Chain A
Amino acid sequence: MTQTKAGPAAAAGWPAPAPGAAPLPRMVRAQAALEFRTLLRNGEQLLLVLIIPVLLLAAFSREPLVNFGSGVRRIDFLAPGILALAIMSTAFTSLAIATGFERRYGVLKRLGSTPLRRSGLIAAKTLTVLAVELLQAVVIVAIGLALGWRPHAGGGAVAWALLLVLAGTAAFSGLALLLAGTLRAEATLAAANLVYLVMLGLGGVVFPLTKFPLGAQPVLRLLPAGALSDGLRSVLQHGSGLPVRDLLVLATWAVAGIAVTARAFRWE
């Protein structure tokens, strides 16, 4: 039995099927650009990744709120800590919250039926995080320098700082995706913000780790925030060589976090 279902207007000129996937780099670029734009458009995310770090940098460098030790210029101590905080806010808090809600609203599920593979999505998220971090670094370094920051900035120092930032980004991202991929979106939101506040207090960002009890200090240096701020400070404030121990701590968190996440992550 033959039936004509197509109305005259509808049938006119609808293009025939022509399936096919785009090249992977094009998909990854498009997805990363979308994530970058939507992040910067979101007021809370912008507050988290840019406004809070800049305000903390400005406030603590002006006022003697905390005694960083004699003979230490406040801004030289603060700027590396604020850079560490910025990395954490992007690679951990912001990534966890955004991914948690993408999972909750079926965005990850829907992407699973497009030609963008999971590896492509992870590449896009990595690109997004790195792009935001670059933006943060430019702003924080510029404001820091304007406030009188005099970091050690030889080739070695810059290279070690970049290496620490990359390791820190990997460590925080693994943990962020672990939260986002296992908890409900609201729980991820709460946990990500709570960890952010705890790390702000205990991560050597604005309060020196040396102010904590002696017994607690080694433990705090084993946390990713403490290791990143301590490592950046060694390189940028004290002009040390590569802080191997801090880098190892970050690398361990990265490997462990990503391994657990790869097993535990639920896409919907």
Chain B
Amino acid sequence: MSTEPAVNITGLVKHYGRTAAVAGLSLRAERAQVTAILGPNGAGKTTTIEICEGYRRPDSGTVRVLGLDPVRDARELRPRVGVMLQSGGIPTSARAGEYLRVMASFYAHPLEPAMLLERLGLTASAQIPFKRMSGGQQQRLSLAAAVIGRPELVFLDEPTAGLDPQARHATWDLITGLRAAGAAVILTTHHMAEAERLADRVAIVDHGALVADGTPAELTGTAGQLRFRAEPGLDTDNLLAALPPGSAAKESPAGHYVVEVHDRVDPQLLAAVTAWCAERGILAQSLRIESRTLEDVFLELTGRELRS
């Protein structure tokens, strides 16, 4: 097997009309790893994935998938790459089992359709036409179709959107299974916990460009947080003065306080905060110690404004 990365994108630019959907994105995804692409709505995730899948041509920049050009080498890539679109793609009156058997017949060494239906909890729905399946069943069938040809690389565009917890876990198991078997998986998601749990590497994209990239641990860092609730309007500058140097304290939203340190929260910090509260007769409620989550990092990098 060649040593080319699963996906290698350099300086990708794509406009729709005058709007830049992707504006100079560079991204690399390794083989046999799960790479999660995170970003607010409209960040350019789907456009980027669809360019990798060969559906759209880049305006400029280079995109290599398994070392090949997704448009020029489409014929060679199609059997090697599995695709799950964000929605649809399955004939509405085809039954789940029937559809998977047809998809299996497109590949040289497909997975057994019955096994896939079983793994994804669709055995009982095998005779139901696509249009009468629930949203979650449709998602799982679409996922099954993406992997039935035993691809080296799978693109999953929001594979767990709208799934119930059982279906989400089945999907996660399938993704980790694929990775363990040596396939590369590239997925987009809005669930930070999902990315943290599944991904070897996370790429955060905003306004069509990469804003951060690394393992989940690299991105969240070692920084710790101490959170508590109390009456609104406490003097956080005064609190900060009582804490070890390098700490930060803020109130956000009103009545919710966060103390952040670069390293893990230690017993001394906890003692300093509770002592400060005790001196002022403040009862700190719901006090908890956390490490920074991927969601914190994501919101820091992409802001809190709502996106269209």
Contacts and interface: CB of A to CB of B under 8 A. Distances in A.
A15 interface: yes
Contacts of A16: 150, 181-182
B174 to A, nearest CB: 7
Interface stretch (B94-102, B242-250, B272-280): B94-102
B241 interface: no
Given A6-B177, A14-B181, A34-B102, A19 B149 contact: yes
Interface in B178-230: 178-183, 197-200, 215, 217-218
Interface in B69-110: 75, 78-81, 83, 85, 87-94, 98-99, 101-103, 105-109
Contact of B79 (A20, A26, A37): A20
Given A15-B111, A19-B152, A5 B200 contact: yes
A34 to B, nearest CB: 5
Nearest to A35: B91
A17 B105 CA distance: 16
B176 A7 contact: yes
A187 B215 CA distance: 49
B106 A114 contact: yes
Interface residues of A, number: 43
A33 B111 CA distance: 20
Q: What is the interface of chain A mostly: helix, strand, loop, or mixed?
A: loop
Residue of B103, B106, B217 with highest tally of chain A CB at under 10 A: B106
Contacts of B218: 1
Nearest to A107: B91
A212 to B, nearest CB: 39
Interface of A: 1, 3, 5-7, 9-12, 14-22, 26-27, 29-31, 33-34, 37-38, 41-42, 101-102, 105-107, 109-110, 112-117, 268
Contacts of A26: 105
A240 B78 CA distance: 51
A113 B200 contact: no
B150 A38 contact: no
B34 interface: yes
Nearest to B112: A15
A107 B85 CA distance: 10
B83 A14 contact: no
Contacts of B105: 22, 26-27, 29-30
B152 A21 contact: no
Given A17-B183, A38-B94, A113-B83, A5 B34 contact: yes
A112 B102 contact: no
What bracket does the count of chain B residues touching chain A fall in?
35 or more
B109 A18 contact: yes
A15 B109 CA distance: 11
B231 interface: no
A26 B54 CA distance: 24
A29 B93 CA distance: 18
B53 interface: yes
A148 B155 CA distance: 60
A21 B78 contact: yes
A42 B93 CA distance: 8
Given A11-B180, A110-B85, A115-B78, A19 B107 contact: yes
Contacts of B177: 6, 10-12, 14
B224 to A, nearest CB: 19
B249 to A, nearest CB: 31
Nearest to A45: B93
A170 to B, nearest CB: 24
A21 B89 contact: no
11 contacts: A3-B200, A7-B176, A14-B177, A16-B182, A20-B79, A20-B109, A22-B105, A30-B102, A105-B88, A112-B55, A115-B79
B92 A117 contact: no
A237 B17 CA distance: 58
A33 B103 CA distance: 12
- For the complex of A and B, list the 4 residue pairs with the smallest distance between their C-beta atoms, beginning with the closest: A20-B108, A110-B89, A14-B177, A106-B88
B72 to A, nearest CB: 15
